[in-house]
Structure 1
Amino acid sequence: MTEGFDTDMLWDEFHRLVNMNSEELRVHLLADASDEDGFPSDPDLGIDELGRGVLHVLGKRKGDLTRGDIDVMRQVVDLVETLGERTDDESRRELMSVGHDPLRG
Protein backbone atom coordinates (compact mmCIF):
# COMPACT_ATOMS: atom_id res chain seq x y z
CA MET A 1 0.00 0.00 0.00
CA THR A 2 1.19 3.49 -0.73
CA GLU A 3 1.43 5.38 2.53
CA GLY A 4 0.91 9.11 2.33
CA PHE A 5 -0.72 12.24 3.57
CA ASP A 6 -4.02 11.53 1.80
CA THR A 7 -4.19 8.04 3.29
CA ASP A 8 -3.52 9.46 6.76
CA MET A 9 -6.31 12.01 6.35
CA LEU A 10 -8.69 9.38 4.97
CA TRP A 11 -7.86 7.00 7.84
CA ASP A 12 -8.60 9.73 10.40
CA GLU A 13 -11.84 10.80 8.71
CA PHE A 14 -13.02 7.20 8.34
CA HIS A 15 -12.42 6.50 12.03
CA ARG A 16 -14.10 9.76 13.03
CA LEU A 17 -17.23 8.90 11.03
CA VAL A 18 -17.42 5.19 11.89
CA ASN A 19 -18.75 5.65 15.41
CA MET A 20 -19.86 2.05 15.97
CA ASN A 21 -17.32 -0.50 17.15
CA SER A 22 -16.81 -3.71 15.18
CA GLU A 23 -19.05 -5.78 17.48
CA GLU A 24 -21.93 -3.27 17.25
CA LEU A 25 -21.58 -3.18 13.46
CA ARG A 26 -21.40 -6.99 13.21
CA VAL A 27 -24.58 -7.37 15.28
CA HIS A 28 -26.36 -4.75 13.19
CA LEU A 29 -25.31 -6.36 9.90
CA LEU A 30 -26.36 -9.84 11.04
CA ALA A 31 -29.73 -8.56 12.30
CA ASP A 32 -30.27 -6.64 9.07
CA ALA A 33 -29.40 -9.73 6.98
CA SER A 34 -31.76 -12.00 8.90
CA ASP A 35 -35.40 -12.26 7.98
CA GLU A 36 -38.43 -13.72 9.65
CA ASP A 37 -37.18 -17.22 8.82
CA GLY A 38 -33.89 -16.61 10.62
CA PHE A 39 -30.33 -16.36 9.44
CA PRO A 40 -29.35 -17.72 6.05
CA SER A 41 -27.17 -20.85 5.97
CA ASP A 42 -24.17 -18.87 4.67
CA PRO A 43 -23.23 -16.32 7.36
CA ASP A 44 -22.08 -13.77 4.76
CA LEU A 45 -25.15 -14.16 2.57
CA GLY A 46 -27.31 -11.09 2.74
CA ILE A 47 -24.77 -9.00 4.64
CA ASP A 48 -24.03 -5.68 3.00
CA GLU A 49 -20.72 -5.91 1.08
CA LEU A 50 -19.60 -2.43 2.07
CA GLY A 51 -20.41 -3.22 5.70
CA ARG A 52 -18.23 -6.33 5.50
CA GLY A 53 -15.48 -4.12 4.10
CA VAL A 54 -15.83 -1.74 7.04
CA LEU A 55 -15.51 -4.64 9.47
CA HIS A 56 -12.40 -5.75 7.63
CA VAL A 57 -10.82 -2.27 7.82
CA LEU A 58 -11.69 -1.92 11.51
CA GLY A 59 -9.62 -5.02 12.19
CA LYS A 60 -6.51 -3.60 10.51
CA ARG A 61 -3.65 -1.29 11.30
CA LYS A 62 -3.12 1.67 9.00
CA GLY A 63 0.12 0.22 7.65
CA ASP A 64 -1.66 -2.97 6.54
CA LEU A 65 -4.27 -1.28 4.33
CA THR A 66 -4.72 -2.45 0.75
CA ARG A 67 -6.05 -0.47 -2.20
CA GLY A 68 -9.38 -2.23 -1.63
CA ASP A 69 -9.44 -1.06 1.98
CA ILE A 70 -8.76 2.51 0.87
CA ASP A 71 -11.65 2.25 -1.61
CA VAL A 72 -13.93 1.05 1.20
CA MET A 73 -12.88 3.96 3.42
CA ARG A 74 -13.52 6.47 0.59
CA GLN A 75 -16.95 4.97 -0.10
CA VAL A 76 -17.88 5.21 3.58
CA VAL A 77 -16.73 8.83 3.89
CA ASP A 78 -18.59 9.76 0.69
CA LEU A 79 -21.78 7.99 1.82
CA VAL A 80 -21.80 9.59 5.27
CA GLU A 81 -21.08 13.02 3.81
CA THR A 82 -23.84 12.54 1.21
CA LEU A 83 -26.51 11.38 3.66
CA GLY A 84 -25.33 13.70 6.40
CA GLU A 85 -27.00 13.19 9.71
CA ARG A 86 -30.37 12.05 8.40
CA THR A 87 -32.28 10.12 11.01
CA ASP A 88 -35.24 8.77 9.03
CA ASP A 89 -35.39 4.98 9.32
CA GLU A 90 -34.13 4.15 5.82
CA SER A 91 -31.20 6.60 5.90
CA ARG A 92 -30.23 5.64 9.43
CA ARG A 93 -30.26 1.95 8.54
CA GLU A 94 -28.06 2.64 5.49
CA LEU A 95 -25.62 4.73 7.55
CA MET A 96 -25.50 2.12 10.29
CA SER A 97 -24.70 -0.57 7.70
CA VAL A 98 -21.32 1.17 7.30
CA GLY A 99 -20.79 1.80 11.03
CA HIS A 100 -22.15 5.34 11.37
CA ASP A 101 -25.04 5.93 13.75
CA PRO A 102 -26.30 9.48 13.16
CA LEU A 103 -28.00 9.52 16.56
CA ARG A 104 -24.65 9.33 18.35
CA GLY A 105 -22.94 12.57 19.19
Structure 2
Amino acid sequence: MADALELDALWEDFHRVVNMTSAELADWLRVRDSGELTEPLPLGRHVLAILQKRRTDLTEDDLRAMREVVDTVTAQADLENEPEAEDTRLRHRLMTVGHDPLKP
Protein backbone atom coordinates (compact mmCIF):
# COMPACT_ATOMS: atom_id res chain seq x y z
CA MET A 1 0.00 0.00 0.00
CA ALA A 2 1.14 3.52 -0.70
CA ASP A 3 2.44 5.65 2.16
CA ALA A 4 0.32 8.55 3.40
CA LEU A 5 2.16 11.26 1.43
CA GLU A 6 2.03 9.26 -1.80
CA LEU A 7 -1.66 8.53 -1.25
CA ASP A 8 -2.42 12.21 -0.58
CA ALA A 9 -0.59 13.26 -3.76
CA LEU A 10 -2.33 10.62 -5.87
CA TRP A 11 -5.74 11.54 -4.40
CA GLU A 12 -5.15 15.22 -5.24
CA ASP A 13 -3.84 14.48 -8.75
CA PHE A 14 -6.75 12.13 -9.48
CA HIS A 15 -9.35 14.66 -8.36
CA ARG A 16 -7.57 17.43 -10.29
CA VAL A 17 -7.73 15.53 -13.62
CA VAL A 18 -11.14 13.93 -13.04
CA ASN A 19 -13.28 17.03 -13.41
CA MET A 20 -16.60 15.31 -14.06
CA THR A 21 -18.94 14.53 -11.18
CA SER A 22 -19.95 10.94 -10.57
CA ALA A 23 -23.42 11.76 -11.97
CA GLU A 24 -21.92 13.29 -15.14
CA LEU A 25 -19.61 10.32 -15.62
CA ALA A 26 -22.41 7.80 -15.01
CA ASP A 27 -24.58 9.58 -17.58
CA TRP A 28 -21.72 9.66 -20.09
CA LEU A 29 -20.91 5.97 -19.61
CA ARG A 30 -24.59 5.10 -20.13
CA VAL A 31 -24.58 7.04 -23.40
CA ARG A 32 -21.33 5.38 -24.51
CA ASP A 33 -22.52 1.90 -23.54
CA SER A 34 -25.76 2.32 -25.48
CA GLY A 35 -23.91 2.87 -28.76
CA GLU A 36 -23.38 -0.12 -31.02
CA LEU A 37 -19.77 0.62 -31.90
CA THR A 38 -18.38 1.32 -28.47
CA GLU A 39 -15.84 -0.78 -26.67
CA PRO A 40 -16.21 -1.94 -23.07
CA LEU A 41 -15.32 0.78 -20.57
CA PRO A 42 -13.94 -0.98 -17.50
CA LEU A 43 -11.61 1.89 -16.54
CA GLY A 44 -14.45 4.39 -16.75
CA ARG A 45 -16.59 2.19 -14.51
CA HIS A 46 -13.65 1.87 -12.09
CA VAL A 47 -13.27 5.67 -12.01
CA LEU A 48 -16.96 5.96 -11.20
CA ALA A 49 -16.56 3.48 -8.33
CA ILE A 50 -13.53 5.39 -7.00
CA LEU A 51 -15.44 8.68 -7.07
CA GLN A 52 -17.98 7.11 -4.74
CA LYS A 53 -15.36 5.96 -2.22
CA ARG A 54 -13.63 7.58 0.68
CA ARG A 55 -9.85 7.76 0.57
CA THR A 56 -9.60 5.26 3.44
CA ASP A 57 -11.58 2.67 1.42
CA LEU A 58 -9.24 2.57 -1.58
CA THR A 59 -7.71 -0.75 -2.62
CA GLU A 60 -4.42 -1.42 -4.42
CA ASP A 61 -6.47 -1.97 -7.59
CA ASP A 62 -8.07 1.47 -7.10
CA LEU A 63 -4.63 3.06 -6.72
CA ARG A 64 -3.44 1.43 -9.96
CA ALA A 65 -6.54 2.73 -11.77
CA MET A 66 -6.05 6.22 -10.32
CA ARG A 67 -2.43 6.28 -11.52
CA GLU A 68 -3.54 5.12 -14.98
CA VAL A 69 -6.17 7.87 -15.18
CA VAL A 70 -3.73 10.58 -14.06
CA ASP A 71 -1.13 9.34 -16.58
CA THR A 72 -3.71 9.07 -19.40
CA VAL A 73 -5.20 12.51 -18.88
CA THR A 74 -1.81 14.13 -18.36
CA ALA A 75 -0.46 12.57 -21.56
CA GLN A 76 -3.51 13.20 -23.76
CA ALA A 77 -5.00 16.45 -22.49
CA ASP A 78 -3.45 19.88 -22.67
CA LEU A 79 -4.27 20.97 -19.13
CA GLU A 80 -2.62 24.38 -19.59
CA ASN A 81 -4.28 25.62 -22.78
CA GLU A 82 -7.81 26.04 -24.06
CA PRO A 83 -9.22 22.78 -25.42
CA GLU A 84 -10.03 22.35 -29.06
CA ALA A 85 -13.78 21.82 -29.45
CA GLU A 86 -13.24 20.21 -32.85
CA ASP A 87 -11.36 17.24 -31.41
CA THR A 88 -14.47 15.28 -30.46
CA ARG A 89 -12.80 11.86 -30.52
CA LEU A 90 -10.12 12.91 -28.00
CA ARG A 91 -12.72 14.63 -25.84
CA HIS A 92 -14.89 11.51 -25.74
CA ARG A 93 -11.90 9.29 -24.94
CA LEU A 94 -10.95 11.56 -22.02
CA MET A 95 -14.55 11.79 -20.81
CA THR A 96 -14.58 8.00 -20.57
CA VAL A 97 -12.08 8.31 -17.70
CA GLY A 98 -13.82 11.32 -16.12
CA HIS A 99 -12.05 14.29 -17.72
CA ASP A 100 -14.02 16.69 -19.90
CA PRO A 101 -11.49 19.03 -21.52
CA LEU A 102 -14.23 21.54 -22.36
CA LYS A 103 -15.31 21.86 -18.73
CA PRO A 104 -13.82 24.87 -16.92
1:28 partner letter: W
Q: CA deviation at 1:35?
A: 2.4
Q: 86-95 or 25-34, which moves further after superposition?
A: 86-95
CA distance in 2, matches of 1:20, 1:47: 19
Alignment of 1:67-78 (within 5 A): 67-78=60-71
The match for 1:65 among 58, 83, 92 is 58
2:68 partner letter: Q
| Number of equivalent positions | 96
2:28 partner letter: H
Partner residue, 2:25: 25
Partner residue, 1:9: 9
Partner residue, 1:55: 48
Q: Tell me if structure 2 keeps the 8 A contact 1:57–1:65.
A: yes
State the Cα RMSD in Å: 1.5
Structure 1 residues 57-79: Cα deviation after superposition (integer angstroms, max 9, x where no partner): 00100011000100110010000
CA distance in 2, matches of 1:104, 1:54: 18
CA distance in 1, matches of 2:5, 2:21: 25
4+ long deviations beyond 4 Å: none
Q: CA deviation at 1:3?
A: 4.3
Q: Tell me if structure 2 keeps the 8 A contact 1:29–1:47.
A: no
| SS of residue paired to 1:20 | coil
CA distance in 2, matches of 1:30, 1:93: 13
Task: Give 5+ residue unaligned stretches, structure 2.
Answer: none
TM-score, structure 2 as length reference: 0.85
Q: Tell me if structure 2 keeps the 8 A contact 1:32–1:47.
A: no
Task: Give 5+ residue unaligned stretches, structure 1.
Answer: 37-45
Q: Tell me if structure 2 keeps the 8 A contact 1:30–1:47.
A: no
